[in-house]
Structure 1
Amino acid sequence: MSEVFEGHERQYCELSANLSKKCTSVGLLDGEQKKQKISEIKAGIEEAESLLRKMDLEARSLQPNVKAVLLAKLREYKSDLNNVKSAVKRISSANPNMVARDELLESGMADALTVSADQRARLMTTTERLGKSSVRIKDSRATMLETEELGVSILHDLHQQRQSLLHAHTTLHGVDENIGRSKRIMANMSRRMSRNKWIIGGIVVVLVIAIALILYFKLK
């Protein structure tokens, strides 16, 4: 529980007990003493109302589970203070019937104000929950957009890598064709060299035979 609330609560309880004693003793007085005592009681009631307002503000700033308990206590304190006000009116008024009618009207207004305060508290709680839900939705949407941007970036990188692979494949295909042509050229050159070797060998054999014949006929 809040220390601030407990401090105001102690002050209120002391003040309420003091006001109850004064209301009990004022019936024995008369004249100016009675008026002075009633003035003191009314000043104490104003101070008590100020304490209740401070307690109400402090209670509404706390967690929902603690706030509900403190607001229930506040309703009891307000009811006690209304009883003190009614007692002061009965003491200070010469017409009890008018006082009874005013008490009924004030009781109805107090109940209406209590209901209105509870509805306002529930509305504020609902609004707070909606605000938190809206923030979570915005965060989820931002995360979704970031994920979408990341996915688009990954797809773009994959597309570039695919283009690079296609280009490399095309280059390798061209290199393979060039190697094939080179092999065919080398094979043709090899066949020509082999044919030329046989031709040269044949020419050399013919020349050797011709030289041998020439030498044979000369020597003969």
Structure 2
Amino acid sequence: MSEVFEGYERQYCELSANLSRKCTSAGLLDGEQKKQKVSEIRTGLDEAESLIRKMDLEARSLQPNVKAVLLAKLREYKSDLNNLKSEVKIISSANPNQAARDVLLESGMADALTVSADQRTRLLMSTERVNQSSDRIKESRRTMLETEELGVSILQDLHQQRQSLLHANNTLHGVDDNIGKSKRILTAMSRRLSRNKWIIGSVIAVLVLAIILILYFKLR
């Protein structure tokens, strides 16, 4: 609730109660005293009307849910102000009965206008809600499109990463094949070296044995 609105509201309620008391006392007066009292009341009515306008401006500047509550209150205050004006009109009239009938007729027309104004207000509020809903739908659609674009971009990135992984996997398989071939070649070379070692060892042993035999026969 708006503190500014509440401040205007307190001032209006105090002023309205004061004006109501003055209207009651003015009805008991005559002549110049009555005119003076009516003049004071009309000055107070101008002040009350100014407070009503301030409350109306403040209420319309607030959030929709708060604004609706305050505008409903404001309609009651406007009705109260109209009743005070009617009462002053009757008091200040030379023919109170005729003035009372005129006030009743004006009240009936005012009620009809109030109903029309209420319907117009409800229509404007409904239109505002529809516009807000339309804006939310547009915002949701925009967010959905942005999310869709982001999803497509992510899928494209994932596809590229998958292709990179497949290429790396194929490269690793090729490396494994090369390592396997190298291992087989090294194994074959190791076997050949082992075989050559045995052959060389055998040749050396035969030569040593031949030398020993030659020396033996020579010495003998």
**Segments of 4+ in structure 1 off by > 6 A?**
none
- Does the 8 A contact of 2:23 with 2:41 survive in 1? yes
Q: Partners in 1 of 2:102 and 2:39 — Cα distance?
A: 17
Checking the alignment, whether the CA contact within 8 Å between 1:23 and 1:87 is kept in structure 2 is: yes
Q: Identity percentage over the alignment?
A: 49
Alignment coverage as a number of residue pairs: 209
Preserved contact between residue 22 and residue 41 of structure 1 (Cα < 8 Å)? yes
Separation in structure 2 between the aligned mates of residue 103 and residue 78 of structure 1, nearest angstrom: 10
* Partner residue in 2 for 1:54: 51
Show structure 1 runs of 5+ residues with no match: none
Contact map agreement 1:16 1:48 (CA 8 A) in 2: no
Distance 1:100 1:47 in 2: 21
Give the whole-Å Cα distance in 2 for the aligned partners of 1:192 and 1:49: 122
- Structure 1 residues 116, 51: CA separation in 2 closer, same or farther (over 3 Å shift)? farther
CA deviations on 1:42-83 (whole Å, 9 max, x unpaired) are 784475155235325515707333542442243234234224
Q: Does 1:173 align with 2:173?
A: yes
Deviations 1:72-124, CA, capped at 9 Å, x for gaps: 243234234224324544x269x94xx67744542332112221332344344
Give the equivalent residue in structure 1 for 2:6: 2
Superposition CA RMSD, Å: 4.2
Aligned to 1:15: 19
Q: 1:74 aligns with which of 61, 66, 78?
A: 78
Contact 2:23 2:87 in 1 (8 A): no
Deviation at 1:14, TM superposition (A): 2.0
Is the CA contact 2:8–2:54 (under 8 Å) kept in the aligned structure 1? no
Aligned amino acid, residue 54 of structure 1: L
* TM superposition shift of 1:178: 1.6
* Cα separation, 1, equivalents of 2:86 and 2:117: 17
Q: Normalization by structure 2: what TM-score? A: 0.66
Answer whether contact 1:4 1:58 (CA < 8 A) is retained: yes
After superposition, the Cα gap between the structure-2 partners of 1:6 and 1:117, relative to the gap in structure 1 and judged at 3 Å, is: farther
Does the Cα contact within 8 Å between 2:16 and 2:48 map onto a contact in 1? yes
- Report the Cα distance in structure 2 between the residues aligned to 1:202 and 1:169, rounded to whole angstroms: 49
- Report the AA paired with residue 126 of structure 2: T
The correspondence of residues 189-204 of structure 1 with structure 2, limited to 5 A, is 189-204=189-204
Cα deviation for residue 2 of structure 1 reads 0.9
My pick for the range that moved more, 63-72 or 188-197, is 63-72
Contact map agreement 1:56 1:74 (CA 8 A) in 2 = no
Residue 187 of structure 1: aligned partner: 187
TM-score norm. by structure 1 comes to 0.66
8 Å contact kept, 2:15–2:44: no
Alignment-derived partner of residue 108 in structure 1: 108
